[in-house]
Structure 1
């Protein structure tokens, strides 16, 4: 089947409202101290939506990075990757802010993404593509949207003919196939007149659950 079969559903997905509840208890030991009260205040749980991230990307890059991580990994993520990314002692957070500052609404080379993944400890493709999506970054003119394990699994399921050239994609080779992935999504977007973000959300939510 083709993704265009579901174009009416995709075009009506309220992607900006897609949100997650984040508990303070899952993030208390990961956040730099100076951000704890700003984000949680006296609340034990905050709800972060995609719309919040688009807004924060234009207002405060440091808060944008933190809230994107919280939205993407509401339970705190696995291992020490996030703690490492937000480490001010190791300068990882400072480097990340410095690099992403020039990416908002800009067209970048894929090598910039590869270099940043190699440079900053704890940063992987899933995380960096969350940043690029909400910063409205493009690569070769195509919207740089999220590519994570869930979407890779949906592509690997071979449910959609649109992605048949990427049937062998896995997390290890995903960065090499990323450019083709966003090209395909861009073409689908033009064909069905939907936002690339809606197609990405469709793959994330429904990609492995349709027959």
Structure 2
């Protein structure tokens, strides 16, 4: 599946209420291939909730997500990589086994397991139990999921959390390559991501 199938992703009239708190309402945005859309705002503004709505893990109180283009033979969620706060690493499994599991679940149409581990700086660690990895290494392992399965839309929640400067640079290079191929990135972040030209969507303030 080529990322070039995607022409735009729209949020139309989105509102989100969690319990008694209204996080945002009447929210509209457009994200296009080749540019990253950065979701900005203070803690509690609804950034993570918005990303989960986009990814299909949370239903909006009102409004909808609309995709222009894409692969008509795949469900919308099958065209998205969602990387949340939780690295989803199983400590009892070996590093390579974790990545191979996700490669099989998400679709083995990207890099092989060993090549992806090399790309994220975990080469030679595949036989280790994932439980011994540091927080930064677990985040690298989570990012490797983006490489083993090609999906056109990346939805990322603070993707560089726990990464050192070198790993942040690696991540930025992966993101720029994805955008250059016509992919689409929507990312909530407090830190610069160095993805080239970007658009911004700001949450927060009086609603």
- The TM-score normalised by the length of structure 1 is 0.31
| Higher helix residue share | 1
| Higher strand residue share | 2
- The TM-score normalised by the length of structure 2 is 0.31
**Using CA pairs below 8 Å that are at least 6 residues apart, which structure has the higher relative contact order?**
2
